[in-house]
Amino acid sequence: MKSFSEQRREAIERLMEQNILRDAAIIKAMLTVPREQFLPPDSRTQAYVDTPIPIGFGQTTSALHMTALFCEYGGMKLGQRVLEVGGGCGYMSCVYAEVVAPYDQSEQQCGHVWSAEILPELAEFGRMNIDRLGYSDRVTFVEADASEGLSENGFFNLIIVTSAAPEIPSKLLDQLDLGGVLLIPIGTASFYQELVRVRRDKAGKIHKDNLGGVAFVPMRGKRGWH
């Protein structure tokens, strides 16, 4: 049986062959973070299958290609301030951290990731994973309803929402910095939505484009589904 590191490399190479992964920093990040270490023991054998993986409490962590697309579509890069709405098991938070705040760069050049998970048990699981794997200095993982953002942390260059909302929350737009990008699934709560990319240009004007169909669990919280 192939080791997890061999499976990881093969999975990333497949995403590169499909032209889903292109950016060298994002490729390096996904090769670095051990996805199996963020999963419950009974899910670890599926770690590098490109599909959503159950992480308990009725939730999943996104498929590998979706993790890659969030990074690529967002133009993720060194030094950015990233907000993740729906941190789950913490895997994607750490991939983002390896892009915006890699250890081979000086602290002055590095950005930071803020990740919020609304489910208390899952928030504890994600936070434990991040602490155990040594990412807590680059990822602030909190239990919170971030459907309206985390305004106390200022503006963000990139906001990634990992659950489907009925509409774009205006308060998330308010926390998007000039030149920033928001990625959010919009649509019904029945596991089919459209991934929308929102850009705020340097003059503050908002631009939206549709990136195609996706399937996410429904957003909870103030701006989610009730």
* Domains of the chain, earliest start first: 4-214 (3.40.50.150)
pLDDT value of position 192: 82
H-helix or E-strand containing 207?
strand 206-214
| Distance between CA atoms of residues 67 and 133, nearest Å | 19
How far from 65 is each of 36, 70, 71, CA to CA, in Å? 16, 9, 10
Place of tokens 């990731």: 113
The pLDDT tens digits of the residues spanning 151-196 come to 999 999 999 999 999 999 999 999 999 999 999 999 876 768 999 9
pLDDT value of position 117: 97
Active site residues: 62
> Which residues have a Cβ under 8 Å from the Cβ of 42 and sit 6 or more positions away?
none
> 105 in helix, strand or coil?
coil
pLDDT value of position 189: 66
Residues of the chain short of pLDDT 70, as ranges, are 189, 191
